[in-house]
Structure 1
């Protein structure tokens, strides 16, 4: 059975959407409800829903911001009370949306589209979400400029402009530049939101690379894409979810 999460800071709106979905898509199972963007991201990691219905305006992390973390694993539908000008921005971005209050006919069209999309990998929305945020009047994020890491009583400060890649294990994230390598505790899912997506590309759930440092991309004997960066001897794996970045391969 397909599964979904609903995120809205208003309980009544969550209940109304749940009821409307029960009519339009009886087999859809609502596995979680969130009151804000932070809860939505956390609950998506726990329940791994196929679809996330996200309100745009929520306390803390907005729906647009939460979507950047969620869209890799779930198909995103925005639920918004924005006016027609904003709706046009959604349509130009090819993102699905529901306008509050949700109309039955519009929900039926959305459900039909989602049924078709469930067999496909969710698209990469990072660039589209940034453009949409600007169109809706959101400010451009203040991207991370430096990374700090403590070691032996010394704090190392590395300009982000010098970083070649970030890659994580369960506890730490390796920060590798052309001159040094340090460990930080900030996970990749947080760095994705703090780094300029035009400069750093996510090529794996655990890896971010500097786009302008990519020297070559090759397929190994198993058909897996691997990235080689200038200034580093390592080859970094590209997961299937991000292989669209190198379609010409």
Structure 2
């Protein structure tokens, strides 16, 4: 059987690299022929070199993964790669399309690829209904968050998001730490992540997001255990196994 030709579209360099590395384990059956950095580029590449499978990040600049899928879902299998597990995951599981929840793990990717191989002779299904469902629940594309507002006593403090060293979940609140401030806000980590610049702010644990520019030292505490020392703050931030791959090339 010939290899299935694949396109990967994601605006995050680390995610593109991660996906490419994981797919390399399956190069007997799958071939990556195009890698796009946004939705419009993905469409251009698809029209130039049609593929069998498209792995699409949902939230991308210019055109979203949903926009891309709406145009080509009748000509290729669509697999969404998403950090938004809060919306319509069950819709993905209907079989019209599949999804990979970020950070992508090899075991889950293998399951998806096996599904694709088993379904290779089936024409791509119409995913219009699914796109409509999840599109209505997808956060609209907005510029990255620039300011953090925190209620301190009777006052509202504002400071640039670039000053933040790390965010940390604290029961019902999120702790926001800068060199001068250590405050609590009601916005959840999940909602914060949606508005942050992903090239600058990385989630390294289910309860922590760090400013990459503030990483001073990556401590290896074991084969899959890491912790971070951040400039401007003495607290050590643990990296969970789930996110350890972000630091393997460093």
Task: Report the TM-score, using the length of structure 1 for normalisation.
Answer: 0.52
Structure-2 separation of matches of 1:137 and 1:4: 27
Structure-2 separation of matches of 1:117 and 1:68: 20
Structure-2 separation of matches of 1:37 and 1:64: 9
Contact conserved, 2:77 with 2:97, CA < 8 A, in 1? no
Shift of 1:116: 1.4
Give the aligned partner of residue 5 of structure 1: 7
Shift of 1:101: 0.8
Answer with 17-26 or 46-55: which moved more: 17-26
Cα gap change, 1:131 to 1:86, in 2 (>3 Å): closer
Give the aligned partner of residue 28 of structure 2: 26
Number of aligned positions between the proteins: 139
Give the aligned partner of residue 83 of structure 1: 85
Q: Give the unaligned 5+ runs of structure 2.
A: 142-250
**Residues 77-110 of structure 1: CA deviation (Å, up to 9, x unaligned):** 0000113444234335742000111111111110
Q: 1:117 aligns with which of 84, 94, 119?
A: 119
Please give the residue correspondences for 1:86-235 in structure 2 after superposition, counting only pairs within 5 Å: 86-92=88-94, 94-136=96-138
**Residues 4-40 of structure 1: CA deviation (Å, up to 9, x unaligned):** 0000011221111011011145331110011111111
Structure-2 separation of matches of 1:29 and 1:78: 18
Please give the residue correspondences for 1:35-74 in structure 2 after superposition, counting only pairs within 5 Å: 35-74=37-76
Shift of 1:118: 1.6
Contact conserved, 2:88 with 2:133, CA < 8 A, in 1? no
Structure-2 separation of matches of 1:54 and 1:91: 16
SS in 1 for 2:104: coil
Cα gap change, 1:138 to 1:125, in 2 (>3 Å): farther
**Residues 172-219 of structure 1: CA deviation (Å, up to 9, x unaligned):** xxxxxxxxxxxxxxxxxxxxxxxxxxxxxxxxxxxxxxxxxxxxxxxx
Cα gap change, 1:137 to 1:14, in 2 (>3 Å): closer
SS in 2 for 1:135: coil
Structure-2 separation of matches of 1:105 and 1:120: 24
Shift of 1:70: 1.6
Contact conserved, 1:86 with 1:136, CA < 8 A, in 2? no
Shift of 1:59: 0.1
Cα gap change, 1:110 to 1:25, in 2 (>3 Å): farther
Structure-2 separation of matches of 1:61 and 1:73: 18
